[in-house]
């Protein structure tokens, strides 16, 4: 049994998951593409040590900042965890592709990023790359916009590494276990983002970025992600701390908008107001109904 808690950043997903996890005697699995990396704690809003002591958390701190965790690797670890627990699992986060990989059972080509190949392809024009894709994988090309260089390069990468078109390696194999998807959203998201940004600064985000830079260098790819990029600009003397904060808020708002667009496209997600004082009670009632329905489908066996 799997319960997903998803939605835009800063909507209270972690807090809701903690309360549900305690009531269900469950575990929480992170669906955040940056929380998988060690040492990136403050800027990724990782659950605190207290949270992790109250409810076991998984898929956090599972690889080094210099490593690359592929979607296929994440999916394999998550699926293994779900199969290993008898109690309901909570999959919590805002990385839509991570969640889709689990709830839709995406078939993912086992091809890790190929830096040199990507650089070689990126040196060519997008129209030329897209024409290559049309020749080697016309089905994939039909689903990719001619101006989408990222997906075009990925499709070509898979073909050149495996010799098999990406379209022939994709598909879905949805899980057979009961599944409930809960989405959180709220009207005062901007205020929440501002508050969380201030909290991160107060907890030592600047120092975290400086430590990562000293250990791994400015060219660490993760230092070019949200929150870290702006602090890197501040430490380099390019912007003031106040401007860096404003940039984080602006870029986080833009990111949340993209997340909202992604998740709203999936009709199976049931939405709740993250600002509601009755949020926990409302979600708990829905979870109870979900578990009862799942139990009936299992012929009365306790779930």
Residue 159 neighbours by CB under 8 Å, 6+ apart = 136, 137, 165, 166
Asked if 183 and 194 touch (Cβ cutoff 8 Å), the reply is no
Question: Residue 100: which residues within 8 A CB-CB, separation 6 or more?
Answer: 106
Helices (H), 217-240: 228-235
List pLDDT tens digits, range 246-299: 999 999 999 999 999 999 999 999 999 999 999 999 999 999 999 999 988 877
Q: In this prediction, what percent of the chain has a pLDDT beyond 70?
A: 99
pLDDT of residue 87: 82
**pLDDT tens digits along 65-105:** 999 899 999 999 999 999 999 889 999 999 999 999 999 99
Domain(s) of CATH 1.10.20.140: residues in the chain: 115-169
d(CA 213, CA 192): 28
pLDDT grade for 301, boundaries at 50, 70 and 90: low
What dihedral do alpha carbons 179, 181, 182, 184 form, nearest 10°?
Answer: 150
Across all residues in the chain, what is the average pLDDT?
Answer: 95
Per-residue pLDDT tens digits for 139-192: 999 999 999 999 999 999 999 999 999 999 988 999 999 999 999 999 999 999
Flag whether pLDDT at 303 surpasses 70. Answer: no
What tens digit of pLDDT does each residue of 108-153 get? 987 888 999 999 999 999 999 999 999 999 999 999 999 999 999 9
Model pLDDT, residue 302:
52
pLDDT at residue 192 in the model: 97
- Is-contact 2 179, C-beta < 8 A? yes
For CATH 3.40.50.300, the residue range(s) in the chain are 2-107+173-297
Q: Which residues of 136-158 are buried (b: 16+ CB within 10 A; e: fewer)?
A: ebeebbeebeeeebeebbbbbbb
Give the mean pLDDT of 207-235: 97
Can you give the pLDDT at residue 66? 95
Q: 300: pLDDT confidence band, cut at 50, 70 and 90? A: low
CATH architecture of the domain covering 2-107+173-297: 3-Layer(aba) Sandwich (3.40)
Q: How many CA atoms lie within 13 A of 289 on its CB side?
A: 7
* Rounded Cα gap, residues 179 and 270, in angstroms: 12
pTM score, two decimals? 0.89
CATH 1.10.20.140 fits 115-169, yes or no: yes
């Amino acid at each position: 049994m799997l319960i997903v808690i998803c939605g835009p950043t800063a909507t209270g997903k972690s807090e809701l998951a903690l309360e549900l996890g305690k009531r269900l005697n469950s575990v929480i699995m992170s669906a955040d593409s940056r929380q998988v990396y060690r040492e990136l704690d403050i800027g990724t809003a990782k659950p605190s040590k207290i949270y992790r002591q109250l409810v076991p958390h998984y898929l956090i701190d599972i690889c080094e900042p210099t490593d690359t965790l592929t979607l296929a690797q994440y999916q394999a670890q998550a699926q293994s965890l779900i199969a290993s627990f008898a109690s309901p699992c909570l999959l919590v986060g805002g990385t839509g592709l991570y969640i889709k990989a689990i709830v839709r059972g995406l078939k993912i080509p086992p091809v890790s990023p190929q830096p040199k190949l990507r650089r070689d392809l990126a040196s060519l024009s997008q129209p030329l790359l897209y024409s290559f894709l049309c020749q080697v994988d016309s089905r994939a090309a039909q689903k990719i916009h001619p101006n989408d260089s990222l997906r075009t390069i990925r499709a070509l990468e898979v073909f050149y590494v495996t010799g098999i078109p990406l379209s022939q390696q994709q598909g879905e194999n949805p899980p057979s276990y009961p599944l409930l998807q809960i989405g959180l959203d709220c009207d005062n998201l901007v205020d929440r983002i501002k508050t969380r940004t201030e909290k991160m600064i107060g907890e030592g985000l600047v120092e975290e970025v400086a430590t990562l830079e000293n250990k791994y260098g400015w060219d660490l790819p993760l230092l070019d992600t949200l929150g870290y990029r702006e602090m890197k600009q501040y430490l380099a003397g390019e912007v003031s701390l106040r401007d860096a904060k404003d940039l984080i808020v602006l870029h986080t708002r833009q990111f949340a908008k993209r997340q909202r667009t992604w998740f709203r496209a999936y009709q199976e997600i049931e939405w709740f107001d993250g600002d509601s004082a009755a949020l926990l009670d409302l979600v708990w009632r829905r979870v109870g109904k979900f578990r009862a329905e799942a139990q009936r489908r299992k012929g009365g066996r306790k779930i």
